[in-house]
Structures are given as structure tokens and as C-alpha cells.
Amino acid sequence: MQLTINNQVYEVAADPDDMLLWVIRDTLGLTGTKYGCGAGICGSCTIHLDGAALRSCITPASAAEGKAITTIEGLAMLSDDGEEVLHPVQQAFIETQTPQCSWCMSGQMMTAAAFLENNPQPTDAEIEAAMNNNICRCGCYARIRAAVARAAEIAQEGAA
Amino acid sequence: MTDSAQNANKTARKGVSRRRFLLILGGGVGALAVGAVAAGPTLVREGRLAMNTLFLTGDAPGTAPPKAPFVWFQIDADNTAHLYIPKIEMGQGIHTALAQVAADELDIAWETVRVHQGDAERGFDPALIFTFGSTSVTALYQPIREVAAALREMLRSEAAAQLNVAAERLVPVGSAFMVREEGGDNLLEPPITYGQIVAAKQGEWKTPETTPRLKTGAEFRYIGKSIERVDLRDKVTGRAIYGFDARVEGMKYGAVARPPRYGATLKRAGTGTAGSMPGVIAVVIRDGFAGVVAETRAKAHAALAALDLEWEGGTNISQAEIEALVSIPAQGGTLIQRVGDVEANGGGTRVEATYRVPMASHAQLEPQAALAEVDGDSVTITTSTQSPEITRDSVAAALGVDAAKVRVVPAYIGGAFGRKTGVDVGAEAAILAKGAGVPVHVGWTREEDMMYGYKRPPAVNSLWASLDAEGGVTAVHHELASADILLNPDIGAPILGRILGTDPLAAGGSLILYAFPNRRVVYHHTPIPVPTAYWRGLGSFPNTFAIETFMDELAAAAETDPLDFRLRYKPEGALGDRFERVLNAVAEASGWRGAAPEGRARGLAAVYDRGTVCALVVEASAENRQIRVHRAWCAVDPGLVINPDGAANQVQGSIIMGLSSTLKERFTVENGMAAAQNFNAYPLLTLAEAPTIEVIAINSSDEPVGGLGEPVGGLVPAAVSSAVFALTGERLREMPFTLA
Ligand code: FES
Ligand code: FES
């Protein structure tokens, strides 16, 4: 099947019901997307499918055919002179020194990025609701709240 | 700043001499690579602090200098300073903190620092890399500084020779020296960079005769600063490689058959129809082991069901039976603390209480994972392990090869909390790789990690105290029973238990340090047929919960404010001063002396644990009988704080994980097997349930004396229990807490 990931087209030999997470990680080697539960509970495996956050561990690869997949590796942009420019969410997670082990953080950042796309100026309560289904065992929750709020600010500054 | 004898501080005086400061010099053209080994005071201290290593390896500290380096620097001609760190990054910020320590004494510009994981390739002893027990900074602070300072002086004397000026005139300015003008204070352009010195060097480097003077606190540039973590850029872009991410050309995926009950072993194993299942490359069966290698993880797991297996033995124990096993018998036990005479002073009013902590899963978000490459009798294992040594030895034993032929590459760890001590997955991958003749990656599923990972040992603590007519405490008796940590025969040293009569790690934090005149602690060893071992905080978690909640109960019985009560009985000497400082700091930050907001109450707890003193206040409510913690304040004194923001992050994380245990987690067993298999049946605290947390970091020393990753956890249930009591008058003594 053909999958489009971070604007690149991959031809992959995968069974239609192979879960997208493992096609991305194991077959294609994009290991930035993480596995935590395989059951749609923890959010570590969150990617974007046509811009919407999605749990790739419970999504068959065939469901992504013909759609645009974005993973954490595709969140940053390249500037004209080839420099990596971090997405506001990535910048904010570093600025607030949010990650500890960071195993959950690809999923946290992908969730946050999709959320802010739809809600660029969220309230704290909206951030709480949007981020509440992503587990962080290291306990970075207070910083995740701050990081998402900061990411919204950075995006506004960039847009202004 | 000059190196005068007058200035020599006390750390320099107890520093390493040349005899013990064995440098391994080398590297390619235009590079200075230095590994250093040391013995003497620093090593003894490391040995003392790292009691786990001592127990696990049986090595007596300080008897002979080790042959392996404990730190490795390399300075390239382009002025990049590579630093190989002998501890593993699992989110605690250790690579950053140790780089700060090294960069400060070596006087390097921060932007030139490149931090790498040290491994056996550079001669590091895997035992040193064991990352556990919040000991990394305290063990390595002094030796890293000594080596960095010595390296700086080597560069200085070489620069002096190259420039033909007196070494005293060279002033470090950040990865370079400048020459001070003769008879004046001006620094002369241009600077000579470390890279230039290294590139122009001819012949042998000379190692210093004695350890140079080390910086004083006022001279620190990096120590004590909230420097950004060195690993985060790679982590937020998805580039960082963890054990579960390890890859190599041609690798396949392995899965291993697991028993239906704890302790069951394979009586008989046949390949069944597994070999003809789609995608299966090999079925590997050997004594007590059956596994499959396939093209994908899903296919490997699917084929397990087609194996023909018969299991025997094991346990069918129930949760009720486990709780009956972990209980305090009427007599017996090992006396582990005796101050004064509890019996003779046990009259008066008696207060007593019993506390229970259940089993818990580590639930670290990255399950166990390892990649094995086998080439003849040489093996390479890339894995998330806290202990490359244990991984190496278990792989060597599994394949029957020499441990020296097993190379362990430690990857980033996606959370561990004690779970990744290298006991299982590396050997599984190695057996499958050898059997299948291809490199094999084994990544446990969440279900496997939850069901088959060892657990936090359940514990029960009973305390009683005697109060005189004035509310003064005359005696305290503490008795505890715990399932095993170090005495777990699969991971630890059962022989030690026979000698000591205790599990020293489960007993950690059980002594009563408050200055009650008569104190006694008795330990009961109560193993269970469910694997239990290291879990963040070890014994300190249940023991702090019990002792500190009991302190609150005593304060109530004595009709004294819990803060005043602790201050009244603070430990003797300097430790008591540290208690007072953290208690006052947290009381002030939280407004302890004032009233809590409407519908809320506060609870307090404090502890000394492995060098660190900390105190916690939580503010909780119980609307609709739902316990909710809204705010927390924690004052923490680990001696010297290397990175205040990193310290705060560790403390915040400990409080969240502690609160998750306090309010949610209970791992249970039915018919000899885990009742929960995934997070749906074993929920963890979520973001909406997390309080805001303020951390007050206190420096009480000119060196770090304690860790940060563990001491705080056990304070959480104690402070929450106390807050709920203040709010409702109900005492919660069994975790996880619920109000009926
Ligand atoms: S791995 Fe997909 S939600 Fe946990
Ligand atoms: S940072 Fe470790 S699980 Fe979130």
C-alpha cells in the first residue's frame, strides 16, 4: 500500500489490518512515534491524519491510505537555508523544560499541535480537557499545561 | 583567580593524588581524550552511598583502584568538548547535571559541550553505569570535578609552554585561556582555545602531581544554574533513540511465551503449528523457554498461541492470601533500631495505628525492550537498562558465553522507576537472535510488562506510642512487614537476608529519627510468590507514609499543631537543623499558619531519606467524598542543588507519581496471576487530577549530599491522609485512599 507520511510517499508491504503505529515505527523506521499501551488509552502513539490527532496503535494502516500522515518527525519545518525550525509546540516544550523521560511527549506534542490548530487561544480549562487523555508517568502534568499555553503564545507571536 | 596554596579549599586537600589519578591519555590526531580513574576518599564515599551496588556485586569499596574510567573527556581541535557520562538518562536530567559539574571545573563554554552516553566501548565498567537510588550526582560530583580541574591544568601548562609564558598568567575564559599582561590585570588578545592547544601539542601530556584547587561556590558558572536539558532537542523532534527504538539492518521481531501463573515453568514445549504461521522465521525452544521470531511483532505474538506448551507448578494465590502473608506476626522479627527502653517507658496513653501499601506496577511508559545481535560468541545488546552489568551478566548466562564478549549499549530510557534493572528482556532477545540466526528485537507489550514485570512489594506497618499526661511522647514502637526487594531470589542476594535478617532495601526509611527518648523498630521478612522488587523510593515509600501519618496522629493526640509537633521532636544535631529549615520553608510558602480556603484543608509531612531532607504540604478537598489535591508545596534540601529547575522537575514528578499511588493504584492478583493487564484496569493519575506544585530548593552545603528522584514520594500519601483527616476527621491508612 501507499502511505504519505510527512509529505513523503512510501510504498509499504503491509497487511491492511496491521496497525499504523507498527508500520510507521517498525516497517518504516520512524521511531519518534511511541508505543505505550496499544489500546488507545495512553496517547503515546498520537499522530495526525489529515491534520486530526489520532491514536495510531488502534488504527489499521489501510485507514490511512490516501491521507496525509504527520508524525513527530514532520512537526518541525525546514527554513529556506535548510535549518530546522521547531514547531511552536516543540519550542514551548523545550522552553518550559517539560519532558522528563519524554516517551509520552511525541504524543503529547502531536495532541497539543492538533488542538491548537483548531483552538489557537485556548483557556486553561480547554487545555486541561484537550490534554487529559494523554498519560505521563513521569508526572510532567503541571508543565504540560504551561507548555501548551506557551505554545499558543508563541504561535500568536509568530502569526502577528 | 590564582592557584595559591592559601586559596586551596578543603575539597582540594582531600583530593586525589597522582598515584590514584591514573589518566588514560589518547585519542586521534588533534584530540585529547582523557579517561580518569580514582580511588581513595571519593571511591569510598561512592561505595558507601551506592549500597545497592555493594550488596549486589559484593565488591568492597576502596580496597583497590578500579581499572576503568568513571568519566571521559575528549577535546577536539575545533574546540568541541565531548563528555562521556557514565550514568543513563531516563528523564531525571542526569546528563545535564553531570555536564554542568564537569564544564564548570574544566572552564568550558557551554555551547561547545557535547554530551554522550558512556558505555563499555570507552572502557566504562558497566557496574558504574548502574543508575539507581538517586545516587548519581552525589557519587560523581567530587571525582568529576577533580578530573576536570586536572585536565584544565594540563591544558594550562601546555598553553604556557606553547606561548612561552608563565602558567600563572593564563586565565581561563571559557574553552580558552587569555594571557594576563605582566604586572597588570588586562587580558591580552587573542585567546588561545583549548582546541588550538590540543592541535598544536607535540609529545606526551603531563599529568598533574596533585589535584588542583577546585572552585568555590562563588566561582561556579554552571553549578547551581537552571541550565536547559541537553537531551531535549533530540527528544522533542523524535530523534532520540530508546531501547524500544533500536534498529539494525535485517532485524526481526521476537515474542516469548509467558506462564499462566506466577512461578509456573514449562513442563513440555513443542513447536505445534507455530512454524507454519504467516511470517514466522524461527521457533526457538530450549530448557524452560519458548519463543518465536517473525517478520512483525504482531505475527510473532500470534504464533505464540500456536505453540504446543504445557506448564507446571506455580501459584494460584489470591489477593486475600497475599494480604494474609504480608502481615505482622505476634512475635519474632529482626530488631533494627533500639534507642532507650521502649518496654519500660510504654505506659501512659497509647496511640496505635496500622498502615497498608499494596502492590503497584511501575507502569513506566516505555515497556522493556532490547535488540540483540549475535555474532559467533560475541553479543551486542542495545537496550533501555538501568544496569548494563546485570544485562550483560544475564545475557552471558543465557547464551553460555563469556561476559567479556557481551557488549551492552545503553539507550535512552523511557521511564524506569526501578523497573529496568536488566533482568529479563536482554536475555530473551539474545536467545531468540542466536536461535534464529538474525538480529532480534524484543519489545514487551503493555500487557506483558504489567502482568510479568516485578511489582512494588506490598507492605504493612504498625506503630504504637505512649504519651504522658502532658502530651509528651515517651516511647514509639514501629513494626513492619514487607515482601522482598533485594531478597527476591531472581534479582538479589538472598544470602544477605540470612545474614542481616532483613531486606535492607525494604527496611529503608523505617528507622525513627525524631528525637523521642525511646524508640524501637522491628522488621519482618514476608515473601510472597509474586515477583516483587525495586520500585521508586524502595522501602522509603511505605515507611515514610506510615511514620509521617503516625506523626500526624500523635500530634492530634497531643493536641499540638503537626508543624509544632515535628519541630518539638526534630532529630538531634545538624539533621534537626535541616528538618527545621525545610519545615519552616514549606510552612511559609504554603501559608500553613493561616486558614486553608473554604472547603479545603492542608496536610504536612517531612522526611530524611538518603541524604536529602524534604517537607511537603498539600491542600485537599473532599467534595462529594472525592479526594482532590489542588496544590502542593515542597521544600527540598539535597545539600547543594546542581540545577534548580531540574530539581523542581524531579520533585514535581515524584509528587504526581506519589499521588497516583495515593489515590488510584492497586495491583492485585487472582488465581496466581495479575488481575489487570492494561491501563484500563489499572488507571493512573491524569493531568486534570494533578495539583499545581511549588518547589523550594534549599542549599545547605557546598556539595550535593542526597538525591532528588525518590525521597519525596512517600510524603504524598502521608500529607494527603493528614489533610483528609483535618477536613473530615477520618483517618485513611490503606492506599489507595477512598472515602466510603
Ligand atoms: S500506544 Fe496508542 S494510545 Fe497508548
Ligand atoms: S515524560 Fe516520561 S512518561 Fe511523560
**Domain-by-domain residue ranges, chain B?**
17-57, 69-235, 243-314+368-443, 326-360+455-728
Nearest residue (CA) to ligand 2, atom 4? A136
Query: Which residue does chain A place closest to B632, by CA atoms?
Result: A142
Q: Are B333 and B523 in contact (CB under 8 A)?
A: yes
* A158: Cβ contacts below 8 Å, ≥ 6 apart: A88
Average the pLDDT over each of A120-134, B42-56, B169-183 and give the range with the smallest value.
B42-56
Residue with cell 558505555: B119
> Ligand 2 centre from B440 Cα, in Å?
26
In the chain, the amino acid numbered A99 is: P
Range ranked top by mean pLDDT from A95-109, B21-35, B121-135: A95-109
Checking DSSP bridges between strand B459-467 and strand B289-294, what pairing results, if any? unpaired
Tell me the fold of B326-360+455-728.
Answer: Aldehyde Oxidoreductase; domain 4 (3.30.365)
**CA–CA gap between residue B1 and residue B219 (Å, rounded):** 9
Q: B633 — contact with chain A (CB < 8 Å)?
A: no
Pocket test residue of A20, A34, A57, A135 for ligand 1, highest count of atoms within 8 A of CB: A57
Q: Does an H or E element contain B608, and which?
A: strand B600-609
Q: Are B462 and B479 in contact (CB under 8 A)?
A: yes
Residues in chain A within 8 Å Cβ distance of B655 = 139
For the sheet containing B612-621, what is the strand order? B600-609, B612-621, B628-637, B692-697
Cis bond before residue B190 (omega within 30° of 0): yes
Indicate if the pLDDT at residue B2 is higher than 70: no
Query: Which residue does chain A place closest to B415, by CA atoms?
Result: A101
* B525: Cβ contacts below 8 Å, ≥ 6 apart: B334, B481, B482, B484, B487, B497, B501, B502, B503
Q: B296 — contact with chain A (CB < 8 Å)?
A: yes
Query: Comparing B522 with B491, which gets the higher pLDDT?
Result: B522
Average the pLDDT over each of A61-70, B17-26, B138-147 and give the range with the smallest value.
B17-26
Ligand 1 binding pocket includes A41 (Cβ within 6 Å): yes
Ligand number nearest CA of A19 is 1
As for the ipTM of the complex, it is 0.98
Closest to A75 measured CA to CA, from A124, A37, A111, A25: A111
Q: Does an H or E element contain B391, and which?
A: helix B388-399
Using a pLDDT cut of 70, give the percent of chain B over it: 89
Size of interface A-B (CB pairs under 8 A): 175
Using alpha carbons only, give the angle B300, B305, B309 rounded to the nearest 5 degrees. Answer: 115
B651 to chain A, closest Cα gap in Å: 9
Q: What is the pLDDT of chain B when averaged over all its residues?
A: 88
- Looking from the CA of residue A36, the nearest atom of ligand 1 is 1
pLDDT of residue B25: 52
A104 to chain B, closest Cα gap in Å: 7
Measure CA of the first residue to CA of the last residue in chain A; give whole Å: 41
Average the pLDDT over each of A22-26, B41-45, B653-657 and give the range with the smallest value.
B41-45
Q: Does an H or E element contain B289, and which?
A: strand B289-294
* B505: Cβ contacts below 8 Å, ≥ 6 apart: B52, B485, B486, B534, B538, B539
**Mean pLDDT, range B507-528, rounded to an integer:** 95
Checking DSSP bridges between strand B628-637 and strand B692-697, what pairing results, if any? parallel
Q: How confident is the model at residue B263 (pLDDT cuts 50, 70, 90)?
A: very high
**Cell matching residue B316:** 494460584
Residues in chain A within 8 Å Cβ distance of B415 = 100-101, 103, 137-138
Ligand number nearest CA of A33 is 1
Q: How confident is the model at residue B365 (pLDDT cuts 50, 70, 90)?
A: very high
**CA–CA gap between residue B458 and residue B527 (Å, rounded):** 10
Whether residue A39 and residue B679 make contact (CB cut-off 8 A), yes or no, is yes
**Mean pLDDT, range B47-56, rounded to an integer:** 29
* A159: Cβ contacts below 8 Å, ≥ 6 apart: A120
Q: Are B227 and B28 in contact (CB under 8 A)?
A: no
Asked if B243-314+368-443 and B326-360+455-728 have one fold, the answer is: yes
Ligand 1 binding pocket includes A35 (Cβ within 6 Å): yes
A94 to chain B, closest Cα gap in Å: 6
**Cell matching residue A143:** 508543565
**CA–CA gap between residue B38 and residue B10 (Å, rounded):** 18
pLDDT of residue B61: 32
Ligand 2 binding pocket includes A85 (Cβ within 6 Å): no
Q: How confident is the model at residue B68 (pLDDT cuts 50, 70, 90)?
A: low
Q: Does an H or E element contain B254, and which?
A: strand B252-256
**Cell matching residue B22:** 591514573
DSSP B56-119: HH-PPTTSS--SS-SEEEEEETT--EEEEESS--SSS-HHHHHHHHHHHHHT--GGGEEEEE--
Whether residue A97 and residue B646 make contact (CB cut-off 8 A), yes or no, is yes
Query: Which residue does chain B place closest to A26, by CA atoms?
Result: B296
Ligand 1 binding pocket includes A22 (Cβ within 6 Å): no
Indicate if the pLDDT at residue B441 is higher than 90: yes
Q: Are B191 and B173 in contact (CB under 8 A)?
A: yes
DSSP B502-517: S-TTTTTT-S--S--S
- Range 683-712 of B in CB contact (< 8 A) with A: 684-688, 690-693
Instruction: Determine the 3-state secondary structure of B684 from DSSP.
Output: coil
Closest to B279 measured CA to CA, from B303, B255, B257: B303
**Mean pLDDT, range B233-257, rounded to an integer:** 98
Of B236, B366, B685, the CB nearest to A93: B236
**Cell matching residue B58:** 559484593
What are the φ and ψ backbone dihedral angles of B476, each rounded to 5 degrees?
Answer: -135, 130
- Residue B639 burial class via C-beta count within 10 angstroms: exposed 0-12, middle 13-18, buried 19 and up: buried
The radius of gyration of chain B's CA atoms, rounded to the nearest angstrom, is 28
Ligand 1 binding pocket includes A37 (Cβ within 6 Å): yes
Q: How many CB atoms lie within 10 A of CB B494?
A: 14
Give the tens place of pLDDT for each residue, B178-231. 999 988 899 999 999 999 998 888 777 777 777 788 999 999 999 999 999 999
B296 to chain A, closest Cα gap in Å: 8
Indicate if the pLDDT at residue B41 is higher than 90: no
A87 to chain B, closest Cα gap in Å: 9
**Span B243-314+368-443: which CATH code?**
3.30.365.10
DSSP B435-450: HHTS-EEEE--HHHHH
Give the tens place of pLDDT for each residue, B431-440. 999 999 999 9
Alpha helices (runs of H) in B240-371, residue ranges in sequence order: 297-304, 319-325
pLDDT of residue B76: 85
**CA–CA gap between residue B591 and residue B593 (Å, rounded):** 6
Ligand 2 binding pocket includes A138 (Cβ within 6 Å): yes
Of B92, B237, B655, the CB nearest to A90: B237
Closest to B642 measured CA to CA, from B220, B135, B36: B220
Alpha helices (runs of H) in chain A, residue ranges in sequence order: 20-22, 88-95, 105-118, 124-131, 141-159
- Taken in order of first residue, the domains within chain A and their CATH numbers are 2-74 (3.10.20.30), 77-159 (1.10.150.120)
Alpha helices (runs of H) in B201-291, residue ranges in sequence order: 232-236
Q: How confident is the model at residue B62 (pLDDT cuts 50, 70, 90)?
A: very low
Cis bond before residue B736 (omega within 30° of 0): yes
In the chain, the amino acid numbered B201 is: K
pLDDT of residue B52: 27
pLDDT of residue B678: 98
Ligand 1 binding pocket includes A60 (Cβ within 6 Å): no
Range ranked top by mean pLDDT from B21-25, B147-151, B460-464, B484-488: B460-464
Closest to B72 measured CA to CA, from B57, B87, B61: B87
- CATH class label, B69-235: alpha beta
Pocket test residue of A25, A42, A135 for ligand 1, highest count of atoms within 8 A of CB: A42
Indicate if the pLDDT at residue B42 is higher than 60: no
Using alpha carbons only, give the angle B236, B241, B246 rounded to the nearest 5 degrees. Answer: 150
Alpha helices (runs of H) in B167-214, residue ranges in sequence order: 194-200
Give the tens place of pLDDT for each residue, B603-627. 999 999 989 999 999 999 999 999 9
Give the tens place of pLDDT for each residue, A10-29. 999 999 889 999 999 999 99
Q: Does an H or E element contain B612, and which?
A: strand B612-621
Query: Comparing B45 with B301, which gets the higher pLDDT?
Result: B301
Ligand 1 binding pocket includes A42 (Cβ within 6 Å): yes
Alpha helices (runs of H) in B173-256, residue ranges in sequence order: 194-200, 232-236
**Mean pLDDT, range B457-486, rounded to an integer:** 96
> Ligand 1 centre from A35 Cα, in Å?
6
DSSP letter at A27 equals: I
What are the φ and ψ backbone dihedral angles of A7, each rounded to 5 degrees?
Answer: 70, 15
Instruction: Give the burial string for B646-655 (b: 16+ CB within 10 Å, else e).
Output: bbbbbbbbbb
**CA–CA gap between residue A59 and residue B141 (Å, rounded):** 48
Indicate if the pLDDT at residue B63 is higher than 70: no
Q: How confident is the model at residue B496 (pLDDT cuts 50, 70, 90)?
A: low
pLDDT of residue B589: 98
B135 to chain A, closest Cα gap in Å: 18
Of A84, A103, A140, the CB nearest to B653: A140
Give the tens place of pLDDT for each residue, B270-297. 999 999 999 999 999 998 999 999 999 9
What are the φ and ψ backbone dihedral angles of B93, each rounded to 5 degrees?
Answer: 75, 25
> Ligand 1 centre from A36 Cα, in Å?
5
Whether residue B653 and residue A84 make contact (CB cut-off 8 A), yes or no, is no
Query: Which residue does chain B place closest to A39, by CA atoms?
Result: B678
Whether residue B654 and residue A139 make contact (CB cut-off 8 A), yes or no, is yes
**Cell matching residue B98:** 553531570
